[in-house]
């Protein structure tokens, strides 16, 4: 009986856990990113100025995205950076702007501040594009799996993706209803 159990257990113990990353520049970068993540998260909680707190939170999310670039599929990095970081920061800053946390934008759609901001943003985007296209990212060195997540989502997780779509649509509808001034006036009567 015992030999039978052992023979059943052997296949579970075959092979070994995936090896840790030992490439020193990649390890150093991971340590720095983790320190940045924890430090900026702490700053986001501790800072009293809400704009600075939201900025620190955005740094946390962006650093998590960079960490995903090293240890996770590329799609997760892209979604974390382009969707989760921007949506979270945008929603929180939008909340402040709708209330009293930040000053409203100037009335003129082409104010000098807006033009300067667009120019700086475009320059930063171009810089990021050049860096991304010219850099040999360590995800290829460290052996991260960067293939198949899209296929998994399209085949294995179809129901989950559909649920997420319904959930996000419900959240968008609920947000629009909650923040609608007309509905608020109707309920206040």
Partner 1 sequence: MKAGLSLMLVASAALLTIGALGLVVKRNVVVMLIGSQLMLTAAGLAFVAFARFGLGAANANNGAAVALFAGFAGAGGLAIGVAMAAVVYREHDTFLNDEYESVAD
List residues near partner 1 by CB under 8 A: 17-18, 20-22, 24, 26-28, 30-31, 34, 37-38, 41-42, 44-45, 50, 53-54, 57, 60-61, 64, 67-68, 71-73, 75-76, 79-80, 83-84, 87-88, 91-92, 94-96, 98-100, 144-145, 148-149, 152-153, 156-157, 160, 164, 167-168, 170-172, 174-175, 178-179, 184
Kindly state the smallest distance separating residue 83's Cβ from partner 1, in Å. Answer: 7
Kindly state the smallest distance separating residue 68's Cβ from partner 1, in Å. Answer: 6
The Cα 88–Cα 82 span in angstroms is: 10
The Cα 49–Cα 102 span in angstroms is: 11
Query: 3 or 140, CB closer to partner 1?
Result: 140
The Cα 76–Cα 176 span in angstroms is: 28
Rg (C-alpha) for the chain, rounded Å, is 23
Kindly state the smallest distance separating residue 102's Cβ from partner 1, in Å. Answer: 12
Query: 4 or 182, CB closer to partner 1?
Result: 182
The Cα 26–Cα 38 span in angstroms is: 18
Kindly state the smallest distance separating residue 165's Cβ from partner 1, in Å. Answer: 9
Q: How many CB atoms lie within 10 A of CB 12?
A: 7
The Cα 178–Cα 52 span in angstroms is: 26
Give me the DSSP letters along 40-51.
HHHHHHH-SSHH
Measured N-to-C along each axis, helices 181-188 and 158-179 cross at an angle, to the nearest 10 degrees, of 60
Kindly state the smallest distance separating residue 115's Cβ from partner 1, in Å. Answer: 29
Query: 116 or 168, CB closer to partner 1?
Result: 168
Query: 120 or 160, CB closer to partner 1?
Result: 160
């Amino acid at each position: 009986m015992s030999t039978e159990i052992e023979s059943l257990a052997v296949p579970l113990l075959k092979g070994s856990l995936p090896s840790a990353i030992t490439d020193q520049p990649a390890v150093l970068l991971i340590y720095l990113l983790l320190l940045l993540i924890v430090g900026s998260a702490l700053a986001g909680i501790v800072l009293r100025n809400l704009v600075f707190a939201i900025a620190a939170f955005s740094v946390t999310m962006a650093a998590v995205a960079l960490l995903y670039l090293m240890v996770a599929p590329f799609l997760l990095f892209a979604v974390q950076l382009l969707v989760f970081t921007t949506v979270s920061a945008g929603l929180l800053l939008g909340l402040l702007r709708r209330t009293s946390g930040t000053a409203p934008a100037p009335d003129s759609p082409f104010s000098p501040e807006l033009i300067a901001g667009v120019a700086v943003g475009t320059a930063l985007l171009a810089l990021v594009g050049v860096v991304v296209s010219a850099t040999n990212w360590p995800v290829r060195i460290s052996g991260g799996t960067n293939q198949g997540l899209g296929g998994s989502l399209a085949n294995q997780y179809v129901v989950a993706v559909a649920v997420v779509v319904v959930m996000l649509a419900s959240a968008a509808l609920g947000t629009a209803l909650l923040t609608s001034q007309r509905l608020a006036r109707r309920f206040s009567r």
